[in-house]
Amino acid sequence: MKTNVESLGKSRVRLNIDVDSDQWEKALEKAYRKVVKSISVPGFRKGKVPRPILERQYGQEVLYEDAMDLLVPEAFAQAVEETEIDPVGEPDMQVKDIDPEEGVQLAIEVDVYPQVELGEYRGLAAEKTVPSVDDEEVEQVLENMRERQSELVTVDYRTDAQEGDFAVVDFVGYMDGEPFSGGAAEDYMLELGSGQFIPGFEEQVVGMNVGEDKEIEVTFPEDYEAEHLAGKDVVFKVSLKELKEKVLPELDDEFAKDISEHDTLDALKEEIHHELLSERQRRAQSELENQLVDQVAANSEVEVPESLIERQSEIMLNEFSRSLMYQGMNLEYYFEAAGTNSQALMEGFRPDAEHRVKREAVLFAIAEEEGIEPTDEEVDSKIDELVEGSSQPEEARETYESRRDDLKASLKLEKAVDVIVENAELTEKAAD
């Protein structure tokens, strides 16, 4: 078998393959053994028709489709090995000629992993943010913790509703003297001053006393989502049944013991400070790495094949779908609400998808240039790190072991990024 490679541009090649007559004959023989099982010829038992008789009866072409099904994958694999290309995506095959004496001529087009003309990746200039955490931010986290530990208790030392109270009310809404749909509720808890209700409603509940009934007049906003109510004047008949107020725990050592493993409030504050700072440092490091890798990608020449862009766009679509699920939504609902579809969404992802592929190709090129090859021990260590803390460690380890090649590739990219960062010329700046 002879093969030559023809570049088609955009990281796509055509393999022109000449399969000799001996290899073609072997494929025909295998096809015959398969086809003969389902063909009957008078005078022969099914499956026992000699090949010359079968070909004379139906023509040799009866074997071509099955022979090609057997030949093409074998020829493609051999051609890939001989030419040392790195194919991606599905190949497109064309039969150029079939000659029983000469063999078969095939043309197979396929995308290949992009070749990279690396730009400068050492000595790049970049700014590194130096994050900080002040006491006010720690106090804000503590206040949020107190909020989560707060309790609502019934107000028994007064009866008048005040801003900040949680009022338990019954109400019925009327428009033009008639109740309207969705305008009634019982035992509805409303935080006064929160602004969660129609403008003007909460303000008129303030000052009511427990057990009091009151008519409240309000106007729905012009942009209200229910169109039949937008801009309408309505009257709510409201009954104030109960008042509750939020009670926050004292911010002291006991509070720290209740919500953490620390014995003192100061120790809890130190942990909060450390976690905030660590998270900001990780974010700053990630931003620095992205900044530098983007520079390398911009300095490099990479022809990204369509198949990789499409594959990356599909990955991004799946990522978007998962993010919607975390918000209690799915793609179908999003498509309906946004008036779009998966094809349009993926088309919008294309620029970022191409950029992702280009960045990855550049990093692999750096890894090759630097001779980076993660060891089995490093992969083992990465698996141990990923498994640690898993609720099902055995299953997790089995999963990661099955993905060793992916993990090794990921480590290779990380090490390539390290080379860029370690050789960069950095200036530090304070966080905004």
Give me the pLDDT at residue 380, please: 94
Average pLDDT value for residue range 378-387: 93
Over range 138-165, report the average pLDDT.
Answer: 94
> Is the separation of the CB atoms in 241 and 210 below 8 Å?
yes
DSSP structure class, residue 38: G
Average model confidence (pLDDT) across the chain: 92
Spatial CA neighbour of 298 closest among 180, 173, 68, 121: 121
pLDDT tens for 201-216 read 999 999 999 999 999 9
* Cβ contact 421:292 at 8 Å: yes
**CB within 8 Å of 414: residues ≥ 6 apart:** none
What is the CATH class of 151-247? alpha beta
Domain parsing of the chain, residue ranges: 2-112, 151-247, 256-430
Q: So what's the architecture of 256-430 in CATH?
A: Orthogonal Bundle (1.10)
**In this predicted structure, what is the pLDDT of residue 44?**
83
* Mean pLDDT across 358-387: 95
Tens digit of each residue's pLDDT (9 = 90 or more) over 176-199: 999 998 899 999 999 999 998 999
pLDDT tens per residue across span 408-431: 999 999 999 999 999 999 999 888
Q: CA separation (Å) from 290 to 81, 263, 296, 363?
A: 35, 40, 10, 12
Identify which of 252, 253, 217, 222 has the alpha carbon closest to the alpha carbon of residue 237.
217
Record the pTM.
0.73
pLDDT in tens, 63-76: 999 999 999 999 99
- The pair of structure tokens assigned to 217 is 């007049």
Give the per-residue pLDDT at 235: 96
Class of 2-112 in CATH: alpha beta
Residue 55 confidence (pLDDT) above 90 = no
CA atoms within 13 A on the CB side of 414: 11
Residue 45 has pLDDT above 80, yes or no: no
pLDDT at residue 432, rounded to an integer:
76
